[in-house]
């Protein structure tokens, strides 16, 4: 599925950017996306973790609060062996899925940075940030982001 800007049922927070379809992430799984956001007119990397639990989705910046490394120890491997918490692959810190709070490890008590997500027409959309858009030919659709592929 080609990511695009969601134009229908956009929440009041502003533009919603389609990251993927709900069906692209199985329930009780997480997936990473490498996006680009715009801050003060400058494009910056924006690495996102999307966790799906049934119809609920949670989003976090893919950055451990302990030392700033990405959480996935292998591509799209975010969950602990029991599949019930996010886990930093470098130091084993464990984070609650719904809150991002570290409950065990070197950053206990600190939290992952939340990212606002909405489900619009069965698409998972990021809101509250401005993503860099890649403009294609005039006849092509504008895309908002690209995922790093793969799945869990």
52-110 pLDDT, tens per residue? Answer: 999 999 999 999 998 888 999 788 899 999 999 999 988 899 999 999 999 999 999 99
Tokens found for residue 5? 């800007």
Taken in order 48, 35, 73, 151, is the CA torsion positive or negative?
A: positive
Following CA atoms 96, 102, 104, 106 in sequence, which dihedral angle do they give, to the nearest 10 degrees? 150
Neighbours of 123 (CB within 10 A): 22
pLDDT band per the 50, 70, 90 thresholds, residue 134: low
Residue with the larger pLDDT of the pair 74 and 122: 122
Instruction: For the beta carbon of residue 70, count every other beta carbon within 10 angstroms.
Output: 18
- With contact defined as beta carbons under 8 Å apart, do 8 and 135 qualify? no
4 pLDDT above the threshold of 50: no
Amino acid 135: pLDDT:
52
Q: Locate 1 and state its tokens.
A: 């599925």
> Is pLDDT at 148 greater than 60 in this prediction?
no
| pLDDT in the model for residue 10 | 38
Percent of the chain with pLDDT over 70: 79
pTM: 0.79
- Look at the chain and count its residues: 152
Tell me what the mean pLDDT of segment 118-130 comes to. Answer: 94
| Whether residue 133 has pLDDT greater than 50 | yes
Higher pLDDT residue, 138 or 115?
A: 115
């Amino acid at each position: 599925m080609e990511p695009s800007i969601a134009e229908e049922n956009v929440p009041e927070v502003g533009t919603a950017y389609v990251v993927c379809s709900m069906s692209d992430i199985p329930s009780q799984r997480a997936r990473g996306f490498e996006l680009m956001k715009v801050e003060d007119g400058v494009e910056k990397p924006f690495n996102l973790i999307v966790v799906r639990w049934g119809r609920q989705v949670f989003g976090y910046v893919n950055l451990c609060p302990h030392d700033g490394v990405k959480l996935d120890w292998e591509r799209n491997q975010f969950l602990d062996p029991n599949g019930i918490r996010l886990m930093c692959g470098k130091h084993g810190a464990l984070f609650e899925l719904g809150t991002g709070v570290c409950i065990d490890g070197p950053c206990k008590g600190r939290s992952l940075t939340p990212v606002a997500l909405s489900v619009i027409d069965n698409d998972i959309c990021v809101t509250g940030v401005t993503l860099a858009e890649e403009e294609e030919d005039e006849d092509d659709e504008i895309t908002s982001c690209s995922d790093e592929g793969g799945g869990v």
